[in-house]
């Protein structure tokens, strides 16, 4: 007999599934994983059948309206994984399942587009000969079939990508499919080229840089089996790939694998769980692993594989640290205040040798602050507690809400003083380099310059062909990119990340300096001078900097983990963050008082909650964004299961939350601002 009632994950902000009845004409065709139309209030919404349900007592159930026959049922393992995502990250199940579908309906007719193809056509490219280290890694991973997390810990330029490619060859030969995740779309053009050269016509791509139509077409290509490897950013996890044989998470340490809005999931951790449910290996690759992943590898929970040498025994770059406090006397008069004599001389010699240089500064715009010299007035965003950044000598822009206004030199406060730019951004660096090297070809890579997929692909092509002499950029250029002619890298101001009020800031600073340095001299031959890195800083003794200069990840990790263990920070403890926000401070203060009281009651009532530490609520470091005041509470516990239950109980029955206040939860938060 067909089931009379079904649990449905409804596409709405409802935490639990709803029960619907099965009308006689649909009942025989209903099955778990099917997408359906169901009534919700006075409207119809999409939903996914999770499984048979019981008739709820005291409630009239509404009938399922229709089956959405455009889509096959989601695979049972994928449905199981999405249910885990919903429960672990405490997010409505229907808003999770909707991510499994493409943005548009399937189109029979395609409109002609001038955009280049998502995946270029290539002739089959033969594999490279593996080094001894690479061969051992491939053999060891293949020797452990089924679910097993692997950490591929390899120095920058050690050939991790070639290991992935040869493993995927084995996966495809076994008749299975593969998933390859990168942290940012800036990495996809080079990876797409390398993968499509090795696996012609077997690659599908999913990321935010594609149009909705491109994403829809790519989704169908992989779901219907025309393509065998899906390459994409974190959201590619939700594509219901069948017969999954391997998942790779490249640059697994990158914070951009964590989503900060709506469903606040971590792509790396979710990939590990998807591999567990799919019973396939998952490989996490990095030269600077996250401390959580490193601790798992050291404990034996993950299998550790090392690549200690660059390919063809190419040398690691030479790193020189410049103390900006002592550099002023040595600097030529024509040099801008941000450019040390040592870095300038390296840039000159690299340019004269016909090689490329990259300058990294994690601040876009011309200057981060505009200040009145007379009265001290600073232009701040009216919607956010943040100063406006000067762009193009003409616009003041908020990098959080995109508010902007015209820049005027006269002070709007005292009417007498003159507004002056203070600090440094990528625009100013680009302008100064163009002045010092008037014949050179200078390009900038930040979110102002690179706004589309084609912008990014064009920039990478120009760097690879040698058309650019100097590349100035933000962290967009720091991650995983491989430019054969890039010889010199300058970190303009390493101090930017040192003093951020976050326990992860030393780890992030170390990772960023190591990764940026790793772009230099990746293709020098034995006997040639190695890549050159100049790190400019006002704090040359900072532990992250000292460790990065020695290429000493393991000692740095050991010291940081010792501090984390003492304070019960991840990986030794688990965190959950609550953000309490709203436009009215009085209601926000009321909500903070209520949530603090509920948390205290729970801790005192339940024995298993007694070990949960509750910090706050207190004003967030960014106290107002987009006209919303923000407070935060941090929950810390040793056992993630009890922390999860605590969060569910804390936020259950949301009727107590004052009108206009929104409370959101972030399990395993990466950013505490």
Average pLDDT over residues 119-125: 68
What integer pLDDT is reported at residue 499 of this predicted model? 73
- Residue 367 is predicted with a pLDDT of 83
Q: 608 or 364: which carries more pLDDT confidence?
A: 608
- Residue 599 has φ and ψ, to the nearest 5°, of -65, -45
pLDDT of residue 32: 97
- Across the range 560-570, mean pLDDT stands at 94
Q: Report in angstroms the alpha-carbon separations of 503 from 142, 557, 665.
A: 37, 13, 19
Task: Label residue 128 by pLDDT band (50, 70, 90).
Answer: confident
Write out the H or E segment, with its range, that includes residue 580: strand 574-582
User: What's the pLDDT score for residue 122?
Assistant: 63
pTM score of the predicted model = 0.92
Residues 334 and 181 sit within 8 Å (Cβ to Cβ): no
Q: What is the mean pLDDT of residues 148-157?
A: 92
* d(C-alpha 649, C-alpha 647), whole Å: 5
Fold of 132-311: Rossmann fold (3.40.50)
Contact 33, 76 (CB under 8 A): yes
Residue intervals of the chain classified under CATH 3.40.1440.60 are 5-100
CA dihedral 60, 66, 70, 73 (to 10 degrees): 40
Sheet holding 574-582, edge to edge: 613-625, 628-637, 574-582, 662-667
Examine the pLDDT at 112 and tell me if it is beyond 70: no
Query: Going by C-beta distance under 8 Å and a sequence separation of 6 or more, which residues neighbour residue 324?
Result: 340, 493, 536, 537, 538
Asked whether the predicted pLDDT for residue 124 surpasses 70, the reply is no
Please report which residue ranges of 369-451 form alpha helices under DSSP H.
426-436
Q: In 10 A of CB 586, how many CB atoms?
A: 9
Q: What is the mean pLDDT of residues 459-488?
A: 84
Residues ≥6 apart with Cβ < 8 Å to 377: 371, 411, 412, 413, 414, 417, 419
Q: Which residues of the chain does CATH 3.40.50.300 include?
A: 132-311, 314-365+425-564
Range with the largest mean pLDDT of 68-82, 369-383, 390-404: 68-82
Higher confidence at residue 210 or residue 190? 210
Least confident of 129-143, 258-272, 396-410, 430-444: 396-410
201-222 residue pLDDT tens: 999 999 988 899 999 999 999 9
Q: Using one digit for the tens of pLDDT, what is the confidence trace for 625-673? A: 999 999 999 999 999 999 999 999 998 878 889 999 999 999 999 987 7
- Neighbour count for residue 554 (Cβ, 10 Å): 11
Q: What is the per-residue pLDDT across 274-289, written as a single tens digit (0 to 9) for each?
A: 999 999 999 999 999 9
Q: Which residue has the higher pLDDT, 194 or 82?
A: 82
The pLDDT of residue 473 is above 80: yes
pLDDT at 329: 73
Would you state the pLDDT for residue 529? 81
Q: Label residue 73 by pLDDT band (50, 70, 90).
A: very high
pLDDT for the residue 516: 85
pLDDT of residue 215: 94
CATH superfamily, domain 314-365+425-564, is P-loop containing nucleotide triphosphate hydrolases (3.40.50.300)
CB neighbour list of residue 618: distance below 8 Å, 6 or more residues apart: 631, 632, 633
Averaged over 63-76, what is the pLDDT? 96
CATH number of 574-667: 3.30.70.600
pLDDT at residue 526, as a whole number: 72
Average pLDDT over residues 236-263: 95
Tell me the pLDDT of the chain averaged across its residues: 90
Tens-digit pLDDT profile for residues 100-110? 999 999 875 55
Domain covering 5-100 in this structure, CATH number? 3.40.1440.60
Model pLDDT for residues 131-149, shown as the tens digit of each residue: 999 999 999 999 998 999 9
Query: Does residue 343 contact residue 322 with C-beta atoms inside 8 Å?
Result: yes
State both tokens at 649.
Answer: 């109980």
Q: Does residue 458 surpass a pLDDT of 60?
A: yes
**Which parts of 102-243 are beta strand (E)?**
148-154, 177-181, 203-206, 229-232
Give the length of the chain.
673
- The predicted model gives 55-68 an average pLDDT of 91
Structure tokens at 631: 């407070």
pLDDT of res. 348: 96
Q: Please, where in the chain does CATH 3.30.70.600 lie?
A: 574-667
In the predicted model, what is the mean pLDDT of residues 572-585?
Answer: 95
- State residue 113's pLDDT score: 60
């Amino acid at each position: 007999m067909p089931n009379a009632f079904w649990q449905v994950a409804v596409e709405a902000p409802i935490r639990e599934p709803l029960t619907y009845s099965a009308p006689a004409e649909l009942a025989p065709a209903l099955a778990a994983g099917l997408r359906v139309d169901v009534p919700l209030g006075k409207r119809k919404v999409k939903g996914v059948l999770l499984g048979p349900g019981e008739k709820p007592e005291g409630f009239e159930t509404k009938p399922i309206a229709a089956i959405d026959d455009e889509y096959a049922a989601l695979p049972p393992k994928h449905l199981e994984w999405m249910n885990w995502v919903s429960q672990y990250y405490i997010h409505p199940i229907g808003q999770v399942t909707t991510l499994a579908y493409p943005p548009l309906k399937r189109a029979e007719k395609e409109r002609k587009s001038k955009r280049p193809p998502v995946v270029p056509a290539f002739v089959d490219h033969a594999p490279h000969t593996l080094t001894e280290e690479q061969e051992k890694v491939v053999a060891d991973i293949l020797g452990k079939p089924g679910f097993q997390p692997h950490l591929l810990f390899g120095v920058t330029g050690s050939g991790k990508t070639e290991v992935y490619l040869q493993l995927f060859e084995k996966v495809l030969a076994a008749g299975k499919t593969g998933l390859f995740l990168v942290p940012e779309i800036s990495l996809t053009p080079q990876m797409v080229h390398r993968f499509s050269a090795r696996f012609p016509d077997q690659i599908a791509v999913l990321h935010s840089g594609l149009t909705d139509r491109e994403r829809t077409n790519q989704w169908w290509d992989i779901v219907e089996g025309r393509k065998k490897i899906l390459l994409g950013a974190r959201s590619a996890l939700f594509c219901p790939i069948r017969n999954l044989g391997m998942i790779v998470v490249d640059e697994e340490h990158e914070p951009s694998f964590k989503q900060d809005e709506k469903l606040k999931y971590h792509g790396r951790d979710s990939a590990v769980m998807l591999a567990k449910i799919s019973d396939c290996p998952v490989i996490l690759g990095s030269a600077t692993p996250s401390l959580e992943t490193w601790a798992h590898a050291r404990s034996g929970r993950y299998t550790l594989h090392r690549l200690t040498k660059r390919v063809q025994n190419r040398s690691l770059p030479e790193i020189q640290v410049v103390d900006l406090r002592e550099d002023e006397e040595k600097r030529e008069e024509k040099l801008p205040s941000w450019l040390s004599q040592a870095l300038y001389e390296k840039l000159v010699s690299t340019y004269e040798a016909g090689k490329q240089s990259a300058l990294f500064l994690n601040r876009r715009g011309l200057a981060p602050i505009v200040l009145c010299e007379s009265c001290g007035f600073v232009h701040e965003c009216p919607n956010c507690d943040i100063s406006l950044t000067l762009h193009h000598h003409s616009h003041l822009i908020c990098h959080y809400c995109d508010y902007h206004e015209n820049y005027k030199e006269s002070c709007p406060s005292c009417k007498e003083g003159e507004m002056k730019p203070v600090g440094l951004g990528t625009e100013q660096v680009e302008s100064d380099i163009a002045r010092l090297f008037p014949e050179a070809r200078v390009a900038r890579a930040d979110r102002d310059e690179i706004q589309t997929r084609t912008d990014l692909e064009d920039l990478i092509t120009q760097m690879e062909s040698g058309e650019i002499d100097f590349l100035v950029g933000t962290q967009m250029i720091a991650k995983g990119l491989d430019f054969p002619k890039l010889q010199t890298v300058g970190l303009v101001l390493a101090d930017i990340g040192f003093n951020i009020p976050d326990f992860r800031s030393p780890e992030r600073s170390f990772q960023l300096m190591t990764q940026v340095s790793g772009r230099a001299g990746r293709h020098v031959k034995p006997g040639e001078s190695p890549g050159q890195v100049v790190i400019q800083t006002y704090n040359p003794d900072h532990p992250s900097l000292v460790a990065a200069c020695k290429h000493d990840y393991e000692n740095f990790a050991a010291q940081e983990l010792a501090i984390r263990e003492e304070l019960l920070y991840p990986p030794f403890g688990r965190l959950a963050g609550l953000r309490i926000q709203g436009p009215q401070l009085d209601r926000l203060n009321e909500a903070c008082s209520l949530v603090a009281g509920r948390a205290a009651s729970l801790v005192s009532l339940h024995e298993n909650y007694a070990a949960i530490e509750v910090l706050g609520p207190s004003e967030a470091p960014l106290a107002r964004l987009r006209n919303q005041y923000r407070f935060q509470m941090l929950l810390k516990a040793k056992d993630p299961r009890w922390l999860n239950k605590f969060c569910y109980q804390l936020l259950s029955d949301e009727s107590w939350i004052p009108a206009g206040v929104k409370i959101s939860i972030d399990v395993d938060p990466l950013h505490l601002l």
